[in-house]
Amino acid sequence: MQNLYDPGARGHGAVLEHTARRGIAFVPFFPVATGGHAGPAGPVAEVAREAGATPSQTAPAWLLRRAPHVLPVPGTSSEHHLRENPGALDVRLTDEQFARLSAAPAS
C-alpha cells in the first residue's frame, strides 16, 4: 500500500494500522516531512539537530521506527539527496524524540 505519510502528514494512519494487522507493507512516499514540520524551526529540524542528522534523514527514521512494515520511499532527482537519504538508517531516535514527533500536530 502506498500513501503520503510522514510526521507532518499522518492522514493515512488508519491505513497504516490496517496494513500492519494484515502483514502488508506500507510504503509512504515523500517521507521527508511537509509543511511547518520541514521548516528550520519545526519539530523535525529540532529533533534532527539533537540527533546529529538532517531533517531529510530524521523524518524517514521516524517512519522506520513507527512500524516494522513501513518502507519509506524518499524519491529524489538530486545526487546530494541520493547520498544523504540512506543516512536515515543510522538515525537512532530516543523514546522522547520519537514521542515528540508523534505528538506534533499534523499539517
Residues of the chain short of pLDDT 70, as ranges, are 33-35, 37, 107
* Residues in a beta bridge with 6: 9
Q: How far is CA 11 from CA 6, 52, 89, in A?
A: 9, 28, 24
pLDDT at 107: 64
pLDDT at 70: 95
pLDDT at 75: 81
> Looking at the whole model, is its pTM more than 0.85?
yes
pLDDT at 59: 93
pLDDT at 33: 67
Q: How far is CA 67 from CA 20, 24, 46, in A?
A: 8, 11, 22
Q: Where would I find the beta strands (DSSP E) of the chain?
A: 2-4, 27-29
